[in-house]
Structure 1
Amino acid sequence: MSSSVSATPAAASDAAIAHFSAKLGFETDCWDTHHALSTGTADFVLLDVRGPALYAAGHVPGALHLPHGKITARRMAEYPPETLFVVYCAGPHCNGSTKAALALARLGRPVKEMIGGVTGWLDEGFVLSEGMEPGTLHPA
């Protein structure tokens, strides 16, 4: 008797390597983002793509505010073409970061989603910055 987990066999190792390697090209997690920001090794631009009120209420320290619907070629032209963007939204129940990542990819920009968003950030025990007036591309 097998479980519902093992009823479908696991992928072959070469297929699993390809899948999980590709997956890491699309996403990063809160822990790695926090580590890069806190050690001064961030080689990416972190974008909070939620609305102004949510950004003002609390955001990841160091994140710039750019709602996903306002990602345009003109705004992204402020950055060199090779700039890596990491985007996040409220959390797993929100697809704003997916919309932002798609918009950036359509503009030919390197992008990763920070999985978990604000919910994941808080679940890891990290703090949010508060009190920043919302606005497009304002540093935290």
Structure 2
Amino acid sequence: MTSLVREIPAAPSAIALMHFSNRLTFETDCSDVHASQQGGEVDFILVDVRGPLAFERGHVPGAINIPGRLLTTEGLAGYPKNSLFVVYCAGPHCNGANKAAVKLAALGYPVKEMIGGVTGWLDEGFELSVAEQCPVNAAIGCEC
């Protein structure tokens, strides 16, 4: 008798290696973002793509807020094309980060998704920050 796990055979190792290696070019996780921040190795722009109110209530420390609808050529004009954006949203139940990644890639920016989003961040035991000033990045021309 075969288990449900083995009902569909696993991919050959070479194909699995290619698949999982490729996934890592599209995503990072909360732990890697946190470790980079703690080590002072922040060579990426962490973007919370949720709305300003959600950002204000709690966001990953060091993140800026650029709601997905504001990811435009004009809104990102101040960022060099080689800027690596790491985007996140509420969590696995939200596809806002995926939509933002599509927009950023279409605009020619390198991008990764921080898988898990806010939910993943909290699951790792990390704290959220609360916005004290305008929750939207001033570089995109929004006012509070």
Confirm or deny a common fold (TM above 0.5): yes
What is the rounded CA distance, in whole Å, between the counterparts of 1:57 and 1:137 in structure 2?
16
* Percent sequence identity over aligned pairs: 57
Please list, as runs of the form range in 1=range in 2, the aligned pairs for 1:85-100 lying within 5 A after superposition: 85-100=85-100
Take 1:26 and 1:132, find their aligned partners in 2: how far apart are those partners? 31
> What letter matches 1:33 in structure 2?
V
Alpha-carbon separation, structure 2, partners of 1:63 and 1:88 = 9
Q: Secondary structure at the match of 1:74?
A: coil
Separation in 1 of the partners of 2:102 and 2:86? 12
Distance 1:88 1:132 in 2: 20
Q: What's the RMSD between the two structures over aligned residues?
A: 1.3
The residue that corresponds to 2:129 in the other structure is 129
- Alignment partner, residue 142 of structure 2: none
Number of matched pairs: 139
Deviations 1:43-79 (A, max 9, x none): 1000000001100000000000100111001122211
- The residue aligned with 1:114 is 114
DSSP-derived class of the 1:61 partner? coil
Match status 1:74 vs 2:74: yes
**What is the TM-score of this pair, normalised by structure 2?**
0.92
The TM-score normalised by the length of structure 1 is 0.95
SS in 2 for 1:22: helix
Query: Quick one: distance in 2 between partners of 1:31 and 1:21?
Result: 18
CA distances 1:78-133 after superposition (whole Å, capped 9, x unpaired): 11111100000000001110110000011011000000000000000000001333
**4+ aligned runs moved over 3 Å, structure 1:** none
Q: Which runs of 5+ in 2 are unaligned?
A: 139-144
Structure 1, 75-84 or 57-66: larger mean CA deviation: 75-84
Letter in 1 for 2:70: K
The 8 Å contact of residues 58 and 130 in structure 2, kept in 1 or not, is answered as yes
Distance, in Å, in 2 between the alignment partners of 1:62 and 1:123 is: 18
Q: Tell me the amino acid that sits aligned with residue 56 of structure 1.
A: E
Partner of 2:58: 58
2:35 maps to what in 1?
Answer: 35
The DSSP-based 3-state class of the residue aligned with 1:76 is coil
Matched AA of 1:35: A
Residue aligned with 1:90, SS? coil
- Distance in 1, Cα, partners of 2:131 & 2:104: 27
Q: 2:55 touches 2:131 (CA, 8 Å); kept in 1?
A: no
